[in-house]
């Protein structure tokens, strides 16, 4: 119940590892910071470019992460999101090694190309996974459809991977497991965590960052470690 206990962070989700990243490095970091969630972007049209790994890398990562029982997520972007809603076999197969699946409704050219009721039905058909809905105020129509869907979560993410901080953070939505993303980086994380802790008082939540852990659009392991060290210290308060 809100106000009954301090905010609890369940994950610090780090998004955007790609083929340039050594999978062993991710395993080693997770051993030190077990609350990290490695979130991998799936967008076949851009596979092999920064932020978007190839299917081969994804499969190797998923196997290694499963062996270590790491926290993992896959973010479905553009054609992958549409493929998920349509039941595309390749998309569903790529998702298999991941515990949480984020549906990036605010990324790419997907608006008007899927049915919200079909999306929710697909989520409900896979109760073994938690599905994260990339949420903005323009997606409020989805919330009533999810009220009887326990395997969903909501990510406040007006930035949609662009690294733009919203300035203010919303309180969690009643009846929804909510997380926060948007412009978080090593330099502003403590300040933002303090603010999120106030609005999410009494709730379990998570944070996610993508652009903030890159340097010249290269996944930066030192920034990742800095973020996780800050998060660890915050969790121990």
Distance (Å, rounded) from C-alpha 3 to C-alpha 197? 11
pLDDT in tens, 101-112: 999 997 778 888
pLDDT in tens, 31-44: 999 999 999 999 99
pLDDT at 139 over 80: no
Distance (Å, rounded) from C-alpha 113 to C-alpha 98? 25
DSSP structural state of residue 164: -
Distance (Å, rounded) from C-alpha 41 to C-alpha 101? 10
Give φ, ψ of 200 to 5 degrees. -105, 20
Predicted local distance difference test score (pLDDT) of residue 163: 59
Give φ, ψ of 72 to 5 degrees. -135, 150
Q: Are 135 and 167 in contact (CB under 8 A)?
A: no
Query: Does residue 41 or residue 141 have the better pLDDT?
Result: 41
Distance (Å, rounded) from C-alpha 148 to C-alpha 231? 32
Domains in the chain with CATH codes: 8-235 (3.20.20.70)
pLDDT at 146 over 70: yes
Q: Which residues are CB-neighbours of 118 under 8 A, at least 6 positions away?
A: 85
Q: Are 78 and 45 in contact (CB under 8 A)?
A: yes
pLDDT in tens, 44-76: 999 999 999 999 999 999 999 999 999 999 999
Distance (Å, rounded) from C-alpha 222 to C-alpha 43? 26
pLDDT in tens, 182-227: 889 999 999 999 999 999 999 999 999 999 999 999 999 999 999 9
Residue range 150-159: mean pLDDT, rounded: 87
Continuous segment of H or E residues that includes residue 41: strand 36-42
Nearest Cα to Cα of residue 11 among 219, 179, 187: 179
Predicted local distance difference test score (pLDDT) of residue 2: 43
């Amino acid at each position: 119940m809100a106000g009954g206990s301090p905010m609890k962070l369940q994950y610090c989700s780090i998004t955007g590892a790609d083929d340039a990243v050594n999978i062993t490095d991710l395993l080693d970091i997770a051993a030190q910071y077990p609350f990290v969630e490695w979130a991998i972007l799936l967008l076949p049209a851009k596979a092999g470019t920064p932020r978007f790994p190839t299917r081969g890398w994804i499969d190797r990562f998923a196997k290694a992460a499963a062996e270590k029982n790491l926290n993992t997520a896959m973010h479905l972007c553009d054609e992958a999101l549409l493929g998920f809603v349509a039941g595309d076999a390749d998309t569903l197969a790529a998702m298999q090694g991941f515990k949480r699946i984020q549906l990036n409704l605010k990324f790419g050219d997907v608006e008007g190309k899927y049915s919200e009721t079909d999306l929710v039905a697909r989520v409900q058909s896979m109760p073994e996974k938690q599905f994260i809905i990339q949420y903005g105020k323009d997606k409020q129509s989805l919330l009533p459809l999810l009220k009887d869907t326990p395997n969903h979560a909501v990510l406040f993410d007006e930035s949609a991977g662009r690294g733009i901080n919203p300035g203010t953070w919303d309180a969690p939505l009643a009846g929804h497991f909510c997380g926060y993303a948007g412009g978080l980086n090593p330099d502003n994380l403590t300040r933002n965590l303090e603010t999120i802790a106030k609005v999410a008082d009494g709730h379990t939540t998570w944070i996610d960052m993508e652009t903030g852990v890159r340097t010249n659009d290269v996944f930066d392991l030192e920034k990742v470690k800095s973020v996780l060290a800050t998060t660890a210290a915050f969790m121990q308060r």
